[in-house]
């Protein structure tokens, strides 16, 4: 299995760019054509990014986000060598996180 989160963090001129790729199926609720049973949705619900323990991003997602979502954003106030942590929780209670030192 691939890593649940691949993250890169770079600081340039006081602006830190976070780029992350998250492995998750992100499935919508669907009816099985053969059995007629409904397959429940399975998606990332909350994404959080922390810089030195302080939240710099919190996102609430739904089933409409594509599989293996890519996230990119920027924030101010970090320095090279600081740590960022990105984590997610899905609607079934599973979670993943990854930390990266800002370069």
Looking at residue 58, the DSSP 8-state letter turns out to be E
Which strands sit side by side in the sheet containing 70-76, from one edge to the other?
A: 5-12, 15-22, 70-76
Rounded distance between C-alpha atoms, residue 90 and residue 96, angstroms:
9
Q: Domain range spanning residue 63? A: 5-101
What's the CATH number where 83 sits? 2.60.40.10
Q: Which residues of the chain have pLDDT under 70?
A: 1-2
Q: What is the pTM of this model?
A: 0.88
Whether the CB-CB separation of 98 and 85 falls below 8 Å is answered with yes
pLDDT in tens, 32-53: 888 889 989 999 999 999 999 9
Q: What are the structure tokens assigned to 58, written together?
A: 């919190």
- Count of domains in the chain? 1
Answer whether 9's CB lies under 8 Å from 103's CB.
yes
Q: Which residue has the tokens 């199926």?
A: 25
């Amino acid at each position: 299995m691939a890593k649940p989160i691949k993250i890169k963090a770079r600081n340039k001129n006081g602006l830190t760019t976070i780029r992350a790729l998250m492995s998750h199926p992100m499935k919508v609720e669907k009816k099985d054509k053969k059995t007629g049973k409904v397959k429940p949705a399975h998606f990332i619900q909350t994404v959080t990014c922390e810089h030195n323990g302080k939240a710099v991003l919190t996102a609430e997602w739904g089933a409409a986000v594509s599989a293996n979502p890519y996230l990119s954003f920027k924030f101010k106030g970090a320095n090279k060598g600081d740590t960022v942590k990105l984590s997610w929780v899905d609607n079934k209670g599973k979670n993943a996180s990854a930390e990266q030192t800002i370069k």
